[in-house]
Amino acid sequence: MFDSKKPQPDTAEHDAWFPSEFSLAQYVPPMTDYEAAEPGTVASGPRKILMIATDERYLPVEGGQLFSTGNHPVETLLPVMHLVQAGYEVEVATPSGLMAKLELWAFPAKDQAVKDAYEALLPKLKAPKKLADVIAHELGAGSDYAAVFIPGGHGAMIGLPSDEQVGTVLRWALDNDRHIITLCHGPAALLAAGDAFAGYKIAVFPDSLDEGANVKIGYLPGKLTWALGERLKQRGVELVNDGMTGAVHADRLLLTGDSPLAANALGQLAVEKLRERV
């Protein structure tokens, strides 16, 4: 008998799984809440945004199975759409320089604006910069990067939290008064900077969903091997949300959101805060 809550197999890898049909029906609406801002660019200052994407696809869960993941397309594209509309150029980098991985099963099928944004960004997603090259040649006090953006999706939990290059970029942003923008599971990357974010307050995807409902409805093929929120709290980070409501939060130059529901609001907040800095 067909079980719509059973994760669907990803036949490209042994024991790898996509979310269940039931969970996708709950979590992936055909349209987003993207709302274009009033036309107008940020007048001056650095003109680029450095997006650090994941180059990994498979996240191990308890029991040895793999979750077929990546960066969430809504969490990636809606903030980018707001930043591009404000006049910024978004550059994509991955730790390896290999292509960015997206959860295309989470794409809003009927949202033409998001489709257009994806097509525009696709060449950079397929051929991103290598993060080490960005560090060597493009960072510094006079860098043209105004902010670092780390999109969500469970793929952000693979590699990024322990990547020394990611830690270097985040510490550069803190030391040079650049914004850091991230949401959902993207704050996993903050762990790469050690205790640099101790004392900060953030919005993040709640552990309770990853440990409970996301397993029960087959979004995940098993419980995660570690809890993101708990790990952040161990590093001195304070979480401002318990659930998934679309909350965003600003603490100094760190801008965060709790889920795909926060993607539009986070993009708006990022542009607002960048304009205030100018």
184 is known as an active-site residue: yes
167/170 Cα distance (integer angstroms): 5
CB-CB contact of 262 with 30 (8 Å): no
Which of 49, 121, 184, 220 is the catalytic position? 184
Residue given tokens 């952000």 in the structure block: 156
Q: Sheet containing 8-9: which strands, arranged edge to edge?
A: 8-9, 16-18, 66-68, 58-60
Active site (catalytic) residues: 184
